[in-house]
Amino acid sequence: MFSKTILSTAAAALLAGVARAETGPGFPITTSQNLTVIYGNNTVSPGGELILRPETAQRPTISSPVWWSDEKGPGSCILLMVDLDVPRNGSRVQLIHWFAMNITRSSPLSANTSGAALQIPDTNPVPYLQPSPPVGDIPHAYTFVLMQQPRNFSMPEQYSTLAMNRVPFNVSQFTMDTNLTKPLAGNWITVQNTTGTPTASAFPPSRPSPTGGSSTESGGPSTGGAAGMLTVDGRALWAGVTTALLAGVFAVAL
């Protein structure tokens, strides 16, 4: 009984150290909350769901189970949508598809309103751009991340033409330059363009995934590997241990 208690506690500690990865594989910003993304009648689930390109023509409806406030009251949020898989000069680079700011809630956050659509202004610094991977390319991963908007936020001058220069984009540099350091929730989709004639005879290889494989070839979350991503209840989870170690701990504990 003593051994069982100790090992079970160790297993619980390992699971406690596992954080949900609600953003796409390789995306440099991680969150622990799932952002609800709805295209038409389709609520994206699980993260990484393969969406047909025609379904993404209009910007999705977004809702969040979390929000933020301070001594001044409820704050505003910023939404980023980024493609990590754009082929360019023999490699994969980022393209910003959407940057919306001054996002608010129509009602205070509660158990009854957590699913309410967020109020996203019609005019955005970087308007929504439909996912359009080149015909013949792998599915591209598009990550949505909702972030706390600092009080008195304004876009730095170097990003004044971002809407006209979407690629190449560097989300890590952008969030550092704009002081966007507090992600609240995230989600991601994959989109592949299967209509028309391929626009290139060859494409760059897929981005390496955190688990050592290709990040978007399967069109969904990958599993296994040391310090990589696990799948629990259909969700992608990050862990600092291998899948085999977790399995071994539970096997001995039981």
Structure confidence by residue, pLDDT tens digits, 16-25 = 333 456 899 9
**Which DSSP helix (H) or strand (E) runs through 11?**
helix 2-16
Query: Domain residue spans in the chain?
Result: 34-190
Phi, psi of 176 (to 5 degrees): -70, -45
User: Which region, left, alpha or beta, applies to residue 111 given φ > 0 means left and ψ of -120 to 50 means alpha?
Assistant: alpha
Least confident interval from 3-7, 19-23, 110-114, 209-213 = 3-7
3-state secondary structure of 137: coil
Summarised one tens digit per residue, pLDDT across range 118-137 is 999 999 999 999 999 999 99
Q: Residue for token digits 């876009």?
A: 155
Residues whose CB is less than 8 angstroms from the CB of residue 5 and which lie 6 or more positions away in sequence, other chains included: none
- Using 50, 70 and 90 to split pLDDT, how confident is the model at 202? confident
- Supply the pLDDT for residue 220: 43
Tell me the CATH class for 34-190.
Answer: alpha beta
Higher pLDDT, 180 or 195: 180
**What local confidence, expressed as pLDDT, does residue 235 receive?**
38
pTM: 0.76
Give pLDDT tens digits for 68-81: 999 998 999 999 99
Spatial contact of 65 and 184, defined as CB atoms under 8 Å apart: no
77-88 and 61-63 strand pairing: unpaired
